[in-house]
Structures are given as C-alpha cells and as structure tokens.
Amino acid sequence: MGKIIDRLEEFIIATLMAVATVVIFVSVVHRYGTGFAIPGVQDWLLSLDMGWAQEFCIILFVWMAKFGAAYGVRTGIHVGVDLLINTLTNKPRAFMIQLGLICGVVFTGVIGVFGAMFIWENGMAYQMLTAFGMEVGEHFEGPTTPDLEWPTWMVYSAIPLGSFLMCFRFVQVMIKFARTGELPTHDHGHVEGLEEGEVLVLGEAIEIAEQREHAHAGLSEREWEKQHPAVDDKKEEK
C-alpha cells in the first residue's frame, strides 16, 4: 500500500509539472506568434483564447507545491536547521527530533482539518448535497475562478489533500525513526551511478555517456569496451 501511495504521489507531481510546462510553452508561442503578420496563421492564432493559461498554471503550481511538500518529507529534501540538535547526546537528540516531528504532524493535521472545513463550506457541501438530491440548507453554491470558471472548492482541495498527505509522511518518518533511529536524507551532490568518492573528469564522463548510448542502441558494454580499450585502461588505473 505504501509503495502505491509513493508511486501515485510521484506520478501526480510529475504530471502536474509536465502539463504546466506544456501549457506555458504553448501560451508563450501563441503570444509571440500573434505578433507576426502571417496571412491566415495570425488570424487563426488570434481566434484562439489562451487567457486561461496563466490561471490554470497557477492552480497546477499550487497543487504541485502541496504534494511536493509531502514528497519532501518522505525523501528528506526539506531544509532543516539541526546544528544544535546534532550536538546533543543520543536520548536528548532523539527526543528533540521526535518533538519536531510531532509538531509537524499536529501542524499539518490542523491545516488539513481547517482546509477540509473551508472547502466544505465554500461550495463542496452544496455540490455534494445537490448531487444526492438532499436539502442544501444554508449551504451556498460557492464562487468560481475568474477565467476557467471552476468551483474554487475544487482548486482549494489541494490544501486538505496535500496537508493530510504531509501529515501521513510525518507519521511515517516518526515510526521509522523510533524503530531504526534513522531519518530520510537526500544528498544533493550525489550523482546516480557514481560511486561515493569517485571523481570523473570531463573526458571520462563523455566516454561513459557514449558507452551507455551505444548500449541502449543494441551494442553490449563488453563489445563497446573491445572497440574502446582506453576506457578499460582508465578503469584499471583506478
């Protein structure tokens, strides 16, 4: 179940980033393209309404930020000031870390609850009750976004969903730290496929990149090394 949530989280973030990138690119091309007096093309571009793109991308970035924050808790990429905590001995250090994680759970949980209450009163209750044919009572339909005219409660749903997911990640980190004494860490200087302490010069990096390119093209690594013995010599020197 945990792996499914992890993959879903990563898929949502990647999808939001990809869609936002494509929409921004198309919007910029459309904006500059309308300035060229090309017969037929300019009129066609002017007929396209891209005024919604900015609002749409803002919404995507808000959702990306909320789910990205939860991803950051899981992978340990959030910035933290732990200079004083790391000077403490084992038990005081563990206590302070757990206290910080508890604060994270409480804070994100409270934000999630208040966020859920907000969207419920901001139009979600009206939509849900209407969909099930129930009396709406004092609940109102709720506002919509200016350009896309989407219900704002759907946009603001990123707050409770992202906050609850972040709260869940804090609980995961708490449990793991209590069992193993380890916190998730992320080495920004680490390069995938490069052993710790190994340093590559520019020429070696290019040769390795070419090697992988040929391997993907159907040429095995062993065959490529036979054709390029210089790479073997450098490996032996190391």
Q: Is residue 196 part of a domain?
A: no
Across the chain, mean pLDDT equals 83
pLDDT in tens, 110-158: 999 999 999 999 999 999 999 998 898 888 889 999 999 999 999 999 9
Number of domains present in the structure of the chain:
2
At residue 52, the pLDDT reads 93
Report the alpha-carbon distance of residue 115 to residue 66 in Å, rounded.
12
Domain check: are 161 and 218 in the same one?
no
Domain check: are 18 and 53 in the same one?
yes
Domain check: are 135 and 231 in the same one?
no
Domain check: are 221 and 170 in the same one?
no
At residue 58, the pLDDT reads 95
Domain check: are 17 and 78 in the same one?
yes
Q: What residues make up the domain containing 216?
A: 202-237
130-155 residues labelled b (16+ CB within 10 A) or e (exposed): eeeeeeeeebeebeebeeeeebbbbb
Q: What is the mean pLDDT of residues 168-185?
A: 91
CA neighbours closer than 13 Å in the CB half-sphere of residue 42: 7
Domain check: are 117 and 207 in the same one?
no
pLDDT in tens, 14-47: 999 999 999 999 999 999 888 888 888 888 888 8
The answer to whether 76 touches 32, Cβ cutoff 8 Å, is: no
Domain check: are 110 and 216 in the same one?
no
Beta bridge partners of 144: 151
Domain check: are 60 and 158 in the same one?
yes
Is the pLDDT at 220 greater than 80, yes or no?
Answer: no
Domain check: are 172 and 214 in the same one?
no
State pTM to two decimals: 0.74
Report the alpha-carbon distance of residue 211 to residue 225 in Å, rounded.
8
Domain check: are 6 and 37 in the same one?
yes
Using 50, 70 and 90 to split pLDDT, how confident is the model at 182? Answer: confident
Report the alpha-carbon distance of residue 226 to residue 231 in Å, rounded.
9
Is the pLDDT at 233 greater than 60, yes or no?
Answer: no
Domain check: are 6 and 85 in the same one?
yes
Report the alpha-carbon distance of residue 164 to residue 237 in Å, rounded.
52
At residue 126, the pLDDT reads 93
Q: Is residue 81 part of a domain?
A: yes
At residue 219, the pLDDT reads 53
Domain check: are 100 and 207 in the same one?
no
At residue 39, the pLDDT reads 85
The residue assigned the tokens 């409270």 is 110
